[in-house]
Structure 1
Amino acid sequence: MSDTVNAGAVDGRRLRSERSRKAIIDAALALMEEGVLVPTAQQISERAGVGIRSFFRRFEDMEALFAGVDSQIRDSYEALFLGGDRNGTLEERIEHAVERHADAYECVKTVVLSTQAQLWRSEVLRRNYARNQRSLRKDLDNWLPELKSLPRDQREAVDAVASFEMWHRLREHQNLSKKASICLVTGLLKSLLGARG
């Protein structure tokens, strides 16, 4: 009987711990979505409704939190870039790829900006960011196999034009609409790839 009670108590503690852990990750993401790009442990714990000591029992430091956030959102964020109509002419595939990436960039904007704001102090974020850059490059290769035959400088230019940084500049700093930004990026990529239209 006491073994059953003890097992139940352990399971209850584990469930509470997992709920607290998820609440902390969800709170960090919510703050980022609201524009708090570098939320503190205190801000996150308050939003999650847990004490600061509870925060550090679940995550020994901010690096552990960054790893936890990445683990929770990675699949859903990567899925934003996958799929789409990858058939058709070069011109059509460029258009589809830019539209797909535009939609994804709009969804992940605040998390990317938060990551960029903290790259200087976080090995976990630097590693995750580099992994994401490699994935984006590989995904673009999948959309546009023609990229493999480009000279290196042109290929690097394609990656720069197709990047989140370019998208963010057009949308936020140059105040272009989503549609205008898509048209501009599409035109530049077509030019770099020698596509008509």
Structure 2
Amino acid sequence: MTVTDGRVARAERTRHAVIEAHIALIEAGELKPTGAQIAARAGVSLRALWANFNDLETLFEETGTELLRRQDTAFAPVPVDLPLDERIDAFCRQRAELLELMAPFARASAIRAPQSKRIQRNRLRHIARVVNEVDELFAAELAALDASRRATLVRSVAVASTWASWVALRDVLDLPVAEAAELMKHTVTALLSEARQPTSC
């Protein structure tokens, strides 16, 4: 291995350690960890942290990418050929599991998001994924709708099954996971029932 290769490998190990430390601190309840806390948890110097990440925004971006990767690993597509009620049930159960998995990071993001363009972009990436999933999973029910009505319904189902709604159920109403998931299911079922209704003249 050349000197250059060795430096690249060390830099990659440092970056990985920093991202893992950032995630671990948030999971432990430190929702707004400082650079010094992250460096200490990673076992690197603060100088090494900033040598590998230009600023917190860069760290937020790469942490967000790692969290999306973890979410992808935990995600199992719901079969599109199941009956509608089974698709809704499986979709809502999985959304509840993924939202609970991501809950500490969503809470941490809420603190920093107003000042962070990267975090705002990461949140939009999460929502876009759910929008695509809804559009594909319920394509049979949505097929008869015109483009505008379909887009509105897909966004409505996505909003009902993303963090903004989940935090209201879990943190504001203080509902247990099972009850929150059941309310999500009720809302998604009600919304998708609109797809069976004829468009008013």
Q: Please state which band the TM-score falls in when normalised by the shorter chain.
A: 0.7 to 0.9
Q: How many Å apart are 1:153 and its aligned residue?
A: 5.3
User: Equivalent residues in 2 for 1:16-165 (5 A)?
Assistant: 16-145=10-139, 146-147=141-142, 149=145, 151=149, 154-165=153-164
Aligned partner of 2:180 in structure 1 is 181
- Shift of residue 67 of structure 1? 2.1
Distance 1:110 1:86 in 2: 30
Letter of the 1:189 counterpart: V
Aligned-partner Cα distance in 2 for 1:69–1:176: 29
> 1:3 corresponds to which residue?
none
Deviation at 1:166, TM superposition (A): 1.3
Q: Any conservation in 2 of the 1:82–1:139 contact (CA below 8 Å)?
A: no
1:155 Cα deviation (Å)?
4.5
Query: Structure 1 112/174 Cα, relative in aligned 2: closer, same or farther at 3 Å?
Result: same
Secondary structure at 1:176 match in 2: coil
Note the C-alpha offset of 1:85. 3.5
Question: How far apart in 1 are the matches of 2:142 and 2:164?
Answer: 20
Q: 2:14 aligned with 1:15, yes or no?
A: no
| 9 and 109 in structure 1: CA distance in 2 versus 1, 3 angstrom threshold | same
User: How many percent identity over aligned positions?
Assistant: 27
Counterpart CA distance in 2 for 1:83 and 1:144 is: 12
SS of match in other structure, 1:84: coil
CA RMSD of aligned residues (A): 2.3
Q: 1:135–1:154: structure 2 CA closer, same or farther, 3 Å change rule?
A: closer
Amino acid at match of 1:69: T
Larger deviation: 180-189 or 151-160? 151-160
> Which amino acid in the other structure matches residue 50 of structure 2?
F
Aligned length: 190
The equivalent of 1:194 in structure 2 is 193
Given the two structures, how large is their TM-score scaled by the length of structure 1? 0.85
- Tell me if structure 2 keeps the 8 A contact 1:24–1:55: yes
Gaps of 5+ in 2: 195-201
Specify whether residues 190 and 72 from structure 1 end up closer, same or farther in structure 2 by C-alpha distance, changes over 3 A only.
closer
